[in-house]
C-alpha cells in the first residue's frame, strides 16, 4: 500500500500519493511528472559510473500507485526520458516489462523539454504523445507551468521538480519534494528517483504538500 491523502482543488477531488503521483478518481487518471527514465544510463554512457536500478525503482512507484487506485490511464506530464542516450537496452527492457504488466492501460506523454528525441521511441510501446495544452474537463495538461487562462479551473504540470527547504535555526531537515499549487497551477514533484529538486519560495496564498516517505502532509507557508 502506498499512502495518499484526499485533497480538493478547484472543487475537484484528487488523491495525492506519497509516491509523488496525483490520481483523479472522476476520470480514473493517474498523473506523474518528470520520470527521467534512463538518466542513469546516460551518465554511464558519458563515463560517469552510476549504478542501474533507479529506472526500475521509478516504475515500481508507478506500479504501486496503479495497484492502489483504479487507474485506467497514465499521463506523464513531460520529461519521460532524460536524453537520447537514455534509451539504452537496459532502460528499454525495463519499459517493455512495464507496458506488458499493464496491457489494458492507456498511456499518454505530454511532451516536455527533455522529450526532443521522442521519435526514436520503440514503435511497440503503446504510448500516445500529445503537445502541452490539451484539456480534460476544464483542467489543462502541460509540462512547464504557465499562466492559467480564465476559462480553465486548473493546470497540471511538472518541469520544476519543486521542493521546499524545511527547518528552523534549530532543526534543519533539508529540501523535501512537494506538490505546489500556485495561481491555479498545480506543479507535481518529479517522480524520477535519480532526479534533483529545485527549492521554491511559495507565496503566502500558495499551497504546498510535502511528499514524505510514509505520508503526504500539507505544509503551511509563511
Partner 1 sequence: MPQSRPLSASKIIDDYFRRIGWKPFRFQRSAWRAYLDGDSGLIHSATGTGKTLAVWMGPILQWMRENDDSSKWNSKRPPAARVLWITPLRALAIDTENALRAPIDALGLPWNLESRTGDSKASAKARQLKRLPTALVTTPESLSLMLTHVSLIPQLAGIEAVIVDEWHELLGTKRGIQVELALARLRRLNPAIRVWGVSATLGNLDQAKQSLVGAEADLNRVRIIAGYKKKKIKLESLIPDKMERFPWSGHIGTRMVPQVAALIEGVSSTLVFANTRSQTEIWYQQLLKARPDWAGRIALHHGSLDTSVRKWVEGGLREGSLRAVVCTSSLDLGVDFTAVDLVVQIGSPKGAARLLQRAGRSGHQPGAVSRLVFVPTNAIELIEFAAVQDAIAGGNLESRPLLDKPLDVLAQHVVTIAIGGGFVADELLAEVRSTVAYQSLGDIEWQWVLDFVVRGGSSLTAYPEFHRVTVHDGRYVVTERRTASMHRMNIGTIVSDASMSVRFLKGATLGTAEESFLSKLKVGDKFLFAGRLVSLVLVRDNVAYVRKATGSADTVPRWMGGRMPLSSELSAALRLRIEQASTGHLIGPEMKSLRRLFEIQRRWSQLPRQDELLIEQTETRGSHQMFVFPFEGRLVHEGIAALVAYRLSQLQKTTFSIACNDYGFVLQSPHRIDVGKAVEQEVFVNESLVSDVLSSMNATEMAKRQFRQIARVAGLIQAGYPGARKSASHIQASSNLFYEVFCQYDPDNLLLQQSRREVLDMQLEIERISTALDRIQGSRIISTSPPKTTPLAFPLLVDKLRERVSSESLADRIARLQQQLEKAADSVTRKARSST
Q: Which residues bind partner 1 (CB under 8 A)?
A: 39-54, 57, 82-83, 88-90, 166-171, 173-174, 193-196, 210, 212-215, 217, 219-220, 222
- The closest of 48, 122, 113 to 83, measured between CA atoms, is 113
Q: Minimum distance from CB of 171 to partner 1 (Å)? A: 6
- 50: its cell numbers: 552510476
Q: Minimum distance from CB of 113 to partner 1 (Å)? A: 11
Q: Minimum distance from CB of 123 to partner 1 (Å)? A: 22
Q: Minimum distance from CB of 46 to partner 1 (Å)? A: 5
Indicate the residue among 64 and 184 with the shorter CB distance to partner 1: 64
Indicate the residue among 42 and 71 with the shorter CB distance to partner 1: 42
What gap in Å lies between CA 181 and CA 162, rounded to an integer?
A: 11
The string of DSSP codes covering 44-80 is HHTT----S-HHHHHHHHHHHHHHTS--SEEEE-S--
Indicate the residue among 95 and 139 with the shorter CB distance to partner 1: 95
**CA dihedral of 6, 100, 72, 82, whole degrees rounded to 10:** 60
Amino acid at each position: 500500500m502506498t499512502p495518499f491523502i484526499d485533497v480538493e482543488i478547484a472543487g475537484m477531488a484528487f488523491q495525492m500519493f506519497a509516491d509523488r503521483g496525483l490520481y483523479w478518481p472522476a476520470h480514473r487518471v493517474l498523473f506523474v511528472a518528470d520520470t527521467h527514465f534512463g538518466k542513469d544510463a546516460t551518465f554511464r554512457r558519458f563515463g560517469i559510473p552510476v549504478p542501474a536500478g533507479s529506472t526500475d525503482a521509478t516504475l515500481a512507484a508507478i506500479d504501486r500507485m496503479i495497484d492502489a487506485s483504479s487507474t485506467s490511464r497514465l499521463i506523464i506530464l513531460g520529461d519521460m526520458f532524460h536524453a537520447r542516450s537514455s534509451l539504452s537496452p537496459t532502460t528499454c527492457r525495463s519499459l517493455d516489462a512495464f507496458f506488458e504488466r499493464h496491457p489494458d492501460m492507456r498511456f499518454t506523454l505530454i511532451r516536455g523539454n527533455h522529450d526532443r528525441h521522442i521519435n526514436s521511441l520503440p514503435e511497440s510501446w503503446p504510448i500516445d504523445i500529445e503537445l502541452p495544452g490539451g484539456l480534460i474537463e476544464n483542467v489543462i495538461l502541460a509540462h512547464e507551468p504557465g499562466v492559467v487562462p480564465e476559462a480553465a479551473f486548473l493546470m497540471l504540470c511538472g518541469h520544476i521538480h519543486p521542493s521546499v527547504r524545511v527547518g528552523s535555526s534549530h532543526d534543519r531537515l533539508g529540501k523535501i519534494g512537494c506538490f505546489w499549487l500556485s495561481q491555479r497551477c498545480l506543479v507535481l514533484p518529479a517522480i524520477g528517483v535519480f532526479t534533483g529538486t529545485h527549492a521554491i519560495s511559495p507565496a503566502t496564498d500558495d499551497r504546498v504538500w510535502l511528499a514524505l516517505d510514509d505520508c503526504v502532509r500539507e505544509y503551511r507557508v509563511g
